[in-house]
Chains A and B, each alone.
Chain A
Amino acid sequence: MTNDSWTRRRVLCASAAATGATMAGFAVVDRIPEAAQEREEPPIAREVIVPVTLRVNGSAYALTLDTRVTLLDALREHLNLTGSKKGCDHGQCGACTVLLNGRRINACLALAVMLEGEEITTIEGLAAADTLHPIQAAFIEHDGFQCGYCTSGQICSAVGMLAEANAGWPSHVTDDVASSPSLNDAEIAERMSGNLCRCSAYPNIVAAIRSVAGRRPG
């Protein structure tokens, strides 16, 4: 998919804007400051539209955003990176999980404006050209999904989680927190509890992650 192509999402956005739907605020964000000035809104209206440069999957993007825009909305609505999903929008489901400087976070609970200059990796940035990330390949091999909505969050979370485990971090189910446990199924399940799957593909998700964890040294 290139930025110039007419994706299904773009067509939907354009038709929504044409019918005067409220989505226009996202679809044509660049026009907001101008519109705000025309309506002579209080000074705060101009102060809440700010320039933000986001570094996503190795590229820098100069955006003009309302200060309220979350990282998730910036990715999906402004950068067309719709792999990160919006489930609950309250940090409860994990569908929006991305990597911030290599660590997994909920993109719905982070303000884009706060992340200027940070390295963000989304599901779109995990594969190396045509070679899937080992976790992506393992999810296919082990059928780690059904509807697929939670999958990009599960995969990003698993990548972050394996890095945490490799760094020796304990978890809630680790008997001795001073030790560095190996990843058995109980450890994997506990560490992945921030990612819900309503199709309940959990056994296969755990199997996919276990298969990659087992390949790593230590």
Chain B
Amino acid sequence: MRPFVYQRVSDVHEAISAGASDMGVRFIAGGTNLLDLMKLQIETPSRLVDISRLPLRTIEARADGGLQIGALVTNSDLAADPFVRRHYPLLSQAILAGASGQLRNRASVGGNLLQRTRCFYFYDRAMPCNKRSPGGGCAAIEGFNRIHAILGASDHCIASHPSDMAVGMAALGARVETIRADGSPRTILLDELYRLPGDTPHVETNLAQGELIVSVALPPPPTGMQVYRKVRDRSSYAFALVSVAVVLDVDVEQIRNARIAFGSIAPKPWRAAQAEAWLVGKAPGRQTFEAAADTALEGARGYGHNDFKIALARRTLVAAFEHITSSRG
């Protein structure tokens, strides 16, 4: 780990001014990903601004019927929240499918959203990586790319976003609330928080230097049923190969509303808006779900070791929908 100056802040504005002071600053909350990366010298901040004592730990009902989640709420507190468990069960399921009890107790909502990819080559400083060292090349494209993206990747980077929680939030239409370096607040759709790699894979989000996530706002719970389904190499404590968060609202025999977000198959939580729109008005059933999956995976491409993810994502989506329709009885 490189030496760094530690600065503890006690209010948001102090954090903002500390965060804007220079390019070497990183905010730290739980630190479960950042410290790991610092030990490997993939992250080398010159100053850590400790935001863990800011008053951003509450989960509150919103006037619109939705939920306001402070950026420092731990993953475990969010997953255990009674309102979340009852009205946004896919979010609890997504969080509980990720990491371990110890990590979820420490990891924050904001930090989970901003965690970095687990691409092997990003983690290995002996290998070229455009995300870690822009212009260096990508070792994953021709390398061992079993865990990599099949959608949204570029010729410069095929890393996937590893979060479970963010996939659940994407399906729920979450908005991310921030404070910018000049003190002004803004709200970004979670879907628009992340950038696709293009030719700048080292720029992962649309946040500016010093911009701080302060909360996540969930719209009112969607009608219909929800499920988060995760497929991985072992049954616990592993990143997803493919995951999907699904909402399905069926009125008699017609789909009224559907939401689909995939995890671990793209550089960001992957919302399948076209497939969602296509599903409205259709009769639920295997054929419909398979056709929707085809639409959702349109344009997917494998890089060798991850070719299987295209079929796996398709089947995982169909299985998630069928889980919902079979639980309806």
Within 8 A of B (CB), among A36-80: 44-45, 47-48, 50, 66-68, 70
A110 pairs with B3, CB closer than 8 A? no
Q: Which residues of B contact A161 (CB under 8 A)?
A: 101
Cα A170 to Cα B297 in complex, Å, equals: 32
Cα A174 to Cα B311 in complex, Å, equals: 27
Known A-B contacts A47-B5, A67-B6, A89-B39; the reply to A109 vs B97 at CB < 8 A is no
Interface-lining segment among A15-23, A128-136, A139-147, A190-198 = A190-198
B23 interface hit (Cβ, 8 Å): no
Residues 94-105 of B, flagged 1 when their CB comes within 8 A of A and 0 if not, give: 001101111101
B128 interface hit (Cβ, 8 Å): no
B5 pairs with A67, CB closer than 8 A? yes
Closest Cβ of chain B to A131, distance in Å, is 26
Cα A172 to Cα B101 in complex, Å, equals: 11
B1 pairs with A170, CB closer than 8 A? no
Interface-lining segment among B46-54, B184-192, B215-223 = B46-54
Within 8 A of B (CB), among A69-112: 70, 89-91, 94, 97, 100, 103-106, 109-111
Cβ-defined partner of B4 (8 Å) among A67, A170, A194: A67
B31 pairs with A109, CB closer than 8 A? yes
Known A-B contacts A70-B35, A110-B31; the reply to A48 vs B85 at CB < 8 A is no
B100 pairs with A194, CB closer than 8 A? yes
Closest Cβ of chain A to B102, distance in Å, is 5
Cα A190 to Cα B98 in complex, Å, equals: 11
Cβ-defined partner of A194 (8 Å) among B6, B85, B93, B102: B102
B106 interface hit (Cβ, 8 Å): yes
Cα A160 to Cα B3 in complex, Å, equals: 32
Cβ-defined partner of B3 (8 Å) among A48, A90, A157, A170: A48
Cα A109 to Cα B36 in complex, Å, equals: 7
B92 interface hit (Cβ, 8 Å): yes
Cα A191 to Cα B1 in complex, Å, equals: 31
Residues 163-196 of A, flagged 1 when their CB comes within 8 A of B and 0 if not, give: 0100111111010111000000000011111110
B36 pairs with A90, CB closer than 8 A? yes
A113 interface hit (Cβ, 8 Å): yes
A114 interface hit (Cβ, 8 Å): yes
Closest Cβ of chain B to A44, distance in Å, is 6
Known A-B contacts A67-B4, A109-B106, A114-B52; the reply to A193 vs B237 at CB < 8 A is yes
B32 pairs with A194, CB closer than 8 A? no
Cβ-defined partner of A106 (8 Å) among B52, B86, B106: B106
Closest Cβ of chain B to A198, distance in Å, is 15
A170 pairs with B52, CB closer than 8 A? no
Chain B: CB-nearest residue to A48: B3
Q: Which of B5, B82, B97 has the most CB of A within 10 A?
A: B5
Closest Cβ of chain A to B83, distance in Å, is 10
Known A-B contacts A48-B4, A67-B5; the reply to A111 vs B86 at CB < 8 A is no
Closest Cβ of chain A to B187, distance in Å, is 28
B140 interface hit (Cβ, 8 Å): no
B32 pairs with A109, CB closer than 8 A? yes
Cα A157 to Cα B101 in complex, Å, equals: 8
Chain B: CB-nearest residue to A103: B105
Closest Cβ of chain A to B291, distance in Å, is 29
Q: Which residues of B contact A68 (CB under 8 A)?
A: 1, 3-4
B224 interface hit (Cβ, 8 Å): no
Q: Which residues of A contact B35 (CB under 8 A)?
A: 70, 109-111
Q: Which residues of B contact A89 (CB under 8 A)?
A: 39
B28 interface hit (Cβ, 8 Å): yes
A48 pairs with B5, CB closer than 8 A? yes
Known A-B contacts A157-B101, A194-B102; the reply to A177 vs B93 at CB < 8 A is yes
A191 pairs with B101, CB closer than 8 A? yes
Q: Which residues of B contact A104 (CB under 8 A)?
A: 101-102, 105
Known: A97-B102, A170-B80, A195-B100. 13 other contacts (CB 8 A): A44-B5, A47-B5, A66-B3, A106-B102, A109-B36, A111-B48, A113-B50, A164-B76, A164-B80, A174-B96, A177-B96, A192-B101, A193-B237
11 contacts between A and B (CB under 8 A): A67-B48, A91-B103, A100-B106, A114-B28, A164-B76, A164-B80, A169-B80, A177-B85, A177-B93, A192-B101, A194-B103
